[in-house]
């Protein structure tokens, strides 16, 4: 007697609402900045911005992904034809060991020679300096946005604050008039 067989075709599960996908970290994917220097625009006039790579150790990159970077008191320096980043605080990696990195070590910036030369000429002007404004990921690599900056005096800061307040009040008045017209 012949044996009867049944053929069952099993299709693989389609990735959809049933299969939970692991969301990518917004910092690692470059959707959100890893660190942002908010004080920079308050204390300086940001004249021109440049993008530079940063030479980091593995635990530093992992720590930046976790959000342990602070640019508050940091600045850039050009010495012997090379650019460096000083006082950037990158906290220790949570799963690191005794070979973890030093939190505020000097880090080298990766720029082309022409860019370094251009930055050097711009920072030699009295009152101009290099300020890192943000750290972010691009294609899995940490990038630093550097700005050539000129320091603000106290009266400059007050003037900026007055202008910002006037803009805010104007926007509020426009929105209030739109709201009244809609009724």
- Residue 147's pLDDT is 92
What pLDDT digit, counting tens, does each position of 40-93 carry?
888 888 899 999 999 988 888 888 888 888 998 899 999 999 999 999 998 888
What pLDDT digit, counting tens, does each position of 17-49 carry?
665 566 667 776 767 788 888 888 888 888 999
**Assigned superfamily of 35-152:** Small protein B (2.40.280.10)
- Residue 51's pLDDT is 93
CA 90-24-13 angle, to 5 degrees, is 155
In this structure, the chain runs to a length of 183
Per-residue pLDDT, averaged over 137-155, amounts to 87
More reliable by pLDDT, 3 or 74 = 74
The model's pTM is 0.71
Domain spans of the chain, in order of start = 35-152, 153-183
Instruction: Spell out the SS3 assignment of 10-47.
Output: CCCCCCCCCCCCCCCCCCCCCCCCCEECHHHHHHEEEE
């Amino acid at each position: 007697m012949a044996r009867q067989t049944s053929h069952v075709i099993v299709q693989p599960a389609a990735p959809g609402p049933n299969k939970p996908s692991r969301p990518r970290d917004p910092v690692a994917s470059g959707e959100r900045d890893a660190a942002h220097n908010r004080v920079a625009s308050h204390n300086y006039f940001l004249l021109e911005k440049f993008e530079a790579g940063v030479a980091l150790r593995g635990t530093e990159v992992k720590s930046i992904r976790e959000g342990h970077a602070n640019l508050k008191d940091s600045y850039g320096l050009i010495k012997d034809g090379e650019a460096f980043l000083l006082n950037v605080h990158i906290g220790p990696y949570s799963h690191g060991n005794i070979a973890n990195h030093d939190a505020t070590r000097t880090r080298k910036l990766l720029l082309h020679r022409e860019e370094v030369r251009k930055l050097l000429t711009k920072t030699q002007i009295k009152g101009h300096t290099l300020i890192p404004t943000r750290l972010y990921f691009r294609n899995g690599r940490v990038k630093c946005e550097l700005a050539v900056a000129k320091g603000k005096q106290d009266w400059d800061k007050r003037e900026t604050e007055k202008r910002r307040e006037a803009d805010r009040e104007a926007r509020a008045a426009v929105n209030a008039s739109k709201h009244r017209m809609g009724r």
